[in-house]
Amino acid sequence: MRTQVAIIGAGPAGLLLSHLLAADGVESVVLETRSREYVAARIRAGLLESSTVDVLAGCGLDGRLREQGLEHRGIYLQWPEERHHLDFVDLVGRSVWVYGQTEVTRDLVAARDAAGQQFVYEISDTALHDLDGDCPYVTYVDIDGREQRLDVDAIAGCDGSFGPSRKAIPSSVGRTWERTYPFAWFGILADVAPSTDELIYAWHAEGFALHSMRSESVSRLYLQVSPDTDPATWSDDQIWEALARRLGHGQNGWELHPGPITDRSVLPMRSYVYEPMRYGQLFLAGDAAHIVPPTGAKGLNLAVADVALLAPALAAMINKGDRGAADSYSDRALRRVALHALLVVDDDHAAHTRRRL
């Protein structure tokens, strides 16, 4: 098979990239190890920054978001006995939207299906070849066990933190910064209306807690725990009691309403930044190049920001032979990543980032 861009990974980065490339007349094939159903049902991020909403609006993908998403002016920061509202709109003129990654994925898949996008699901043994030449290609084994080869002009590595794209770059070329934190978040989804109109970030002597939400009827809550916590050992009552204490149930008449817990998991906290985000004809985007812990709700937003830079850069390179934006892609994308990573990665990286900026 031949196409212009092989997109490895059908997460938000890969799906959005295929959409933006098509708008610029660039053909792509999206390769994915998981099934279509698995990709559509995956529950992850839930908070969209205004820049992400702007990108989705710019390509006509904000219809359901504006109907069903919840626009928030800001967040609450609290510690025992005190809660303060931080109004982003007053402070910086921008709001945030609660709209699940599952919904973003559904909108993107629907748009790509309607446009006849080529997807190849349930592949294995994905491998990238000849990245530093003019004729790169990807090989994989399809769902029927047949070996396949896809020849392309460029490869977009949108395959998350464990995919093969980043690993295909020679180790002598790349640099990484990584920090693993000594705590984790115990996250639950509950079928209960949120007990708050906007997110509550709470400091407590027992540990941090966050009251977030996915919709008007589904709440998402987190407790800071030790990374070795087994979520199965906590009863539902224990979880709700810890949340009530840390979030200040009863404080100034505020109440936390418990409900049936439908999902629970412990999320390790890790920061990871890889540079460069481009090697030859391979371009990395999203979690393939950087991971930030869920504390700042940044991952999905950074993935969208990468793709908003990458799509026009690839289109200019492929349609007009203009390599300028492709050549500067890594530096421009990392500048935004670094601004966020600066807060969370180690001192060496912070110093290096300051020099770059």
Ligand X SMILES: Cc1cc2nc3c(=O)[nH]c(=O)nc-3n(C[C@H](O)[C@H](O)[C@H](O)COP(=O)(O)OP(=O)(O)OC[C@H]3O[C@@H](n4cnc5c(N)ncnc54)[C@H](O)[C@@H]3O)c2cc1C
Those residues whose C-beta lies under 8 Å from the C-beta of residue 154, and which sit 6 or more positions away, are 4, 5, 6, 136, 281, 282, 283, 314, 317, 318
For residue 97, the minimal CB distance to ligand X (Å) is 11
- Closer CB to ligand X, residue 160 or residue 258? 160
CB of 250 to ligand X, least distance (A): 28
Considering beta carbons, is residue 69 or 164 the nearer one to ligand X? 164
Binding residues for ligand X (CB under 6 A): 8-14, 31-34, 39, 44-47, 101, 126, 158-160, 163-164, 267, 286-287, 294, 297-301, 303
Smallest separation (angstroms) from ligand X to the CB of 189: 10
Q: How far apart are CB 347 and ligand X at their closest, in Å?
A: 24
H or E element that contains 353: helix 347-356
Question: Closer CB to ligand X, residue 4 or residue 33?
Answer: 33
User: Smaller CB distance to ligand X: residue 248 or 286?
Assistant: 286
**3-state SS, residue 115:** coil
Q: Which is nearer to ligand X, 13 or 344 (CB)?
A: 13
Q: 87-102 burial, b for 16+ CB within 10 Å, e for fewer?
A: ebeeeeeebbbbbbbb
The backbone torsions φ and ψ at residue 266, rounded to the nearest 5 degrees and listed phi first, read -105, 125
Tokens of 62: 């904000």
Query: What minimum distance in Å lies between the beta carbon of 102 and ligand X?
Result: 10
For 215, other C-beta atoms within 10 Å of its C-beta total 17
Q: Considering beta carbons, is residue 247 or 337 the nearer one to ligand X?
A: 337
CB within 8 Å of 309: residues ≥ 6 apart: 325, 329, 332, 333
Q: Is residue 268 reached through a cis peptide bond, with omega within 30 degrees of 0 on the bond before it?
A: no
Q: Which is nearer to ligand X, 9 or 258 (CB)?
A: 9
Q: Report the nearest approach of ligand X to the CB of residue 329 (Å).
A: 15
Residue 246 or 298: which CB sits closer to ligand X? 298
Note whether 217 and 288 are within 8 A (CB): no
CA 149 to mean position of chain CA atoms: 28
Give the E-state strand segments of 137-260 in sequence order.
Answer: 137-141, 147-151, 154-157, 175-190, 200-202, 209-213, 219-225
Could you tell me the smallest distance in angstroms from the CB atom of residue 14 to ligand X?
A: 6
Instruction: Name the token pair of 99.
Output: 């709209």
Of the pair 40, 316, the CB lying nearest ligand X is at 40
CB 80 to ligand X: min, Å: 25
181 φ/ψ sector (left φ>0, alpha ψ -120 to 50, else beta): beta
Cα torsion 39, 43, 46, 50 to 10°: value is: -10
Shortest distance in whole angstroms from residue 314 CB to ligand X? 16
What is the separation of C-alpha 10 from the centre of its chain, rounded to a whole number of angstroms?
12
